[in-house]
Amino acid sequence: MPDAMKPARLDVEGLSLSFGGLRAINDVTFSVEPGSITALIGPNGAGKTSMFNCISGFYKPQRGAVRFDGEDVTRVHPPARARMGFARTFQNIALFRGMTVLDNIKLGRHAHMRTNLLQALAFFGPAAREEVELRAEVERDIIDFLEINHIRHMPVAALSYGLQKRVELARALAMRPRILLLDEPVAGMNREETEDMARFILDVKEEWGTTILMVEHDMGMVMDISDHVVVLNFGQVIARGLPHEVQADPQVVAAYLGSGDPAALMKRLAAEADAGAATGGTA
Amino acid sequence: MSDLLFFVEVSLAGLGSGALLSLTALAFVLIYKATRVINLAVGEILMMGGYFFLAFAAGWGLSPWLAIPAAIAGGALIGAVVERGIIRRMLGESPISVFMVTVGLGSVLVGIVELVWGTDPRTLPDFMGTAPVFIGEAYVSRKIAISFAVAGLVIAVFLALFRFWRGGVALRATATDQAAAYACGINVPGVFSLAWTIGCGTAAGAGVLLGSIGGIAPTMGAFGLSALVVVIVGGLDSVAGALVAGLAIGLVEAWTGTYLGGEYKLVFTFGILILMLMIRPYGLFGTKEIERL
């Protein structure tokens, strides 16, 4: 495992986000333990992706805080978060088309490189050394690890969907993450690709020890590899705990299968939020 | 003089003005690549470059070798201020609105020049000498030869920077996927600033060269329109496209201007533009999925 990658702890505290009058996230609190795989699940429109964008710095929440190892990073912009050790992937593949797999992966290291323009132009001294080290590290720790040796000089646009997703994971790993944020890592994959990706995510956790937070729809995959599951619905946490506990929770079943009365659930959630605000006010 | 020699001389002159078109087109490409904004004020920034040079070299009596970098810096400063003060505030607005703002900016710059320097054409102090250059037997104007060499060098440097410099790679990455670049730790707003600064500086430099060949006037911004044709033919986001299409359009303009008469120049140039938009709307070397305005 590369050094300087101590897994980080993430705390989300009382986070709220609205778009105009629409409450996307309402007073959400949860934690991601260092070195764990935590899954954020919920039906469509539950606020998962909004939550994810708040955590990675793409959205600024109106209230609440995101803490990275205890430090408040709510207002820190994404490039600075990248330097701190945040790395994310995107729901829709966001690779640099037209570049090769290797170039894409190396761009992940952009935030951590130090040489300036003149050194890079002259291309000796620190710049050349940094480049050589980077290449060796990328080859050893990432390309071999994710089994993408055979495609590394191919342009990413020529790859299958599953492989593109894997290159995106590779680029995120090149960022030396202390927390890895995966937005629907197996969305749109067939069974075999899903199993491969699940194995790689588990390998990252076991060999690198990285803290992982993922949003995912594939229940089977979530239940197989997560240590901890947080369920969102209508922008609020409706359940949390070990995978099998969450799976058995009647509210989760109701949220997913639609049995029960959604109006009643919304009413109960509103009441809970009011109670929460009241206790928060008196404390 | 033989017809062939005359043809070669016309072609060389065409390549010379084509190189200036390429250089100006490069300003469009840089800014479009990074920020997806078509900056229609590039022509007027080019004009500002010419007037800055006039002010520094003739007004203040600076040596041309100081006045040229000062004029380029002046253009770059306009780019930086416009990006920071106007364009960045319009992030997320419709591309048409941003485009229209750059059209307005062009008019404002023309107005400023007319207020300060008047509407009469001026000539720039000579700094390149006048002794003609001969390639074989063919005669080339010294200024055009120098402009060609400078434009070629600058474009080569840009191509190298895009490939090897991390800032250039960051710009390419930003051009491909802003969100991904942002998440990878690339300072995307910084890349925007850099592109506008370098792009407008390049345009101002092209203005000094162009002005020293044909003089300067508040109307010289129209050269930017020819460069816009070059950019659309070559591909809005392609540095190599700007080079190739610039030389090609320069040749076509020289040939038609000489053999058919000056009034045919624009007919041919814009005819090529229309043909190109019909056949390959993304240009010779452009990326296919370019957004259309």
**Which comes out higher in pLDDT, residue A31 or A118?**
A31
- Residue B249, φ and ψ in degrees, nearest 5: -65, -35
pLDDT of residue A127: 65
| Chain A CA closest to residue B287 | A98
Task: Give how far A131 is from chain B: nearest CA, Å.
Answer: 11
Reported as a single tens digit per residue, the pLDDT across B266-286 is 889 899 999 999 988 888 887
Contact: B166, A113; criterion CB under 8 Å? yes
Nearest to B166 among A58, A83, A110 (CB): A110
Residue located via tokens 């005669």: B139
The angle at the Cα of A140, spanning A155 to A206, to the nearest 5 degrees, equals 105
What span, in angstroms and rounded, lies between the C-alpha atoms of B158 and B156? 5
Interface test with A, best of B184, B193, B285, B290 (most A CBs within 10 A): B184
What span, in angstroms and rounded, lies between the C-alpha atoms of B188 and B173? 10
Task: Give how far A179 is from chain B: nearest CA, Å.
Answer: 13
Terminal CA-CA length for chain B: 49
What span, in angstroms and rounded, lies between the C-alpha atoms of B49 and B205? 6
Would you tell me which residues 21-40 of chain B have a C-beta closer than 8 angstroms to some C-beta of chain A? Answer: none
* CB burial of residue A124 (10 Å; 0-12, 13-18, 19+): exposed
- Residue B185, φ and ψ in degrees, nearest 5: 95, 10
Contact: A121, B165; criterion CB under 8 Å? yes
Mean pLDDT of A137-162: 87
What span, in angstroms and rounded, lies between the C-alpha atoms of A139 and A230? 35
Q: Which CATH architecture has domain A1-85+177-283?
A: 3-Layer(aba) Sandwich (3.40)
pTM: 0.81
pLDDT of residue A17: 93
Closest CA to B240 of B285, B183, B175: B285
- Cα B94 to Cα A6, A260, B30, B37, B199: the distances in Å are 43, 44, 20, 10, 22
**Which comes out higher in pLDDT, residue A132 or B133?**
B133
Q: Where does B16-279 sit in CATH, by number?
A: 1.10.3470
Query: Is A211 at the interface with chain B, CB within 8 A?
Result: no
Contact: B185, A110; criterion CB under 8 Å? yes
Domain boundaries, chain A: 1-85+177-283, 95-175
Residues in chain A with CB shorter than 8 Å from the CB of B198 are: none
Contact B68, B205 (CB under 8 A): yes
Residue located via tokens 């170039």: A103
Domain boundaries, chain B: 16-279
- Cα A242 to Cα A215, B168, B271: the distances in Å are 16, 47, 68
Neighbours of A30 (CB within 10 A): 18
Does the pLDDT at position B159 exceed 90?
Answer: no
Query: Is A60 at the interface with chain B, CB within 8 A?
Result: no
Lowest-pLDDT range of A44-58, A136-150, B229-243: A136-150
pLDDT of residue A258: 65
Q: What is the mean pLDDT of chain B?
A: 89
Nearest to B177 among A94, A121, A175 (CB): A94
Give the largest Cα separation in chain A, rounded.
68
Q: How confident is the model at residue A166 (pLDDT cuts 50, 70, 90)?
A: very high
Q: How confident is the model at residue A282 (pLDDT cuts 50, 70, 90)?
A: very low
Contact: B184, A120; criterion CB under 8 Å? no
Mean pLDDT of B27-49: 92
Contact A23, A16 (CB under 8 A): yes
Nearest to A108 among B164, B184, B188 (CB): B184
Q: How confident is the model at residue A248 (pLDDT cuts 50, 70, 90)?
A: confident
